[in-house]
Amino acid sequence: ALRSIWLHDATGPLADDALMVSASFHLRTKDYEESARLYKLLRDQYPESPHFRDAFLLGSHVTLASYQGSNYDGQSLDEAIELKEAALRIFPDLSEEERDRLGSELQRMYEAEVARIWDRVEYFQAKGADESVAIYCHILINRFPDSSYAQQARQILEQQAQQKPRWNPLAQSKTPPENAAAPAEPEPEKAPRRFPGLNWSFRKVPKDNPKPAD
């Protein structure tokens, strides 16, 4: 019945309500992928809905819940981070408790993203693919310069520089050794993410037009 409402009367007064109830039902039954899809549909098609804010906050929760770990695709993790960062920017009426909770959740998500990148470093280390190791070390340092893994990544790059001082780690080897692992494709550039939780208990997110970290 709910599906029929928002499919066949998409501009009607109950369409956004039907979507919200459907998404929340799938949240309760732990069908996180379907719940995330419906929350996204609500955000995209009904930006004037009174459920818009909840679609952001709950949508980030279920999107993160569908993340399977550092050994799997990180798209759901990236989407959840973007939703929580956007919620802090566009909802100035969030309570201090809600902002602190979002900040704490963001820190855990940043840590999960760092772990996912570091797993790639270790994977290519085990394969002996130095170029790919260097690529992911640079990604980790550029995106998360404050993380503990960033220092380890710098040490790895220093060791590589000492072993091959004239080697450009981002340039593809012209004569790769036989049976060597293929170099990893560089990921798209992203803005560096600072860990809000490194001092989150001492610093609150400003309530007036909070800006994303540089």
List all residues 6 or more positions away from 66 whose beta carbon is below 8 Å from its beta carbon.
32, 33, 36, 76
Give dist(CA 157, CA 167) in Å, integer: 11
Give the pLDDT of residue 185: 62
Q: Using an 8 Å Cβ cutoff, are 156 and 121 in contact? A: yes
**Amino acid 133: pLDDT:** 92
Question: What is the chain's pLDDT, residue by residue, as a tens digit (214 residues)?
Answer: 888 888 888 888 899 999 999 999 998 998 988 888 898 889 888 989 999 888 888 887 777 776 666 555 667 777 878 888 888 888 888 888 888 888 888 888 888 888 888 988 999 999 889 899 999 999 989 888 888 888 899 999 998 888 865 445 555 545 555 555 555 565 655 655 554 543 333 233 334 444 444 4
Question: CA–CA separation, 168 vs 66, rounded Å?
Answer: 38
**What are the residues whose beta carbons fall under 8 Å from the beta carbon of 167, sequence distance 6 or more?**
160, 161
Can you count the helices (H) and strands (E) in the chain?
Answer: 8, 0
DSSP H or E run through 74: none
Q: Give the other-Cβ count within 10 Å of 137's Cβ.
A: 26
pLDDT of residue 16: 93
CA distances from 61 to 119, 178, 195, 205 (A): 24, 45, 19, 19
Report the alpha-carbon distance of residue 21 to residue 1 in Å, rounded.
11
Rg of the chain taking only CA atoms, in angstroms: 21
The count of other CB atoms within 10 Å of the CB of residue 102 is 21
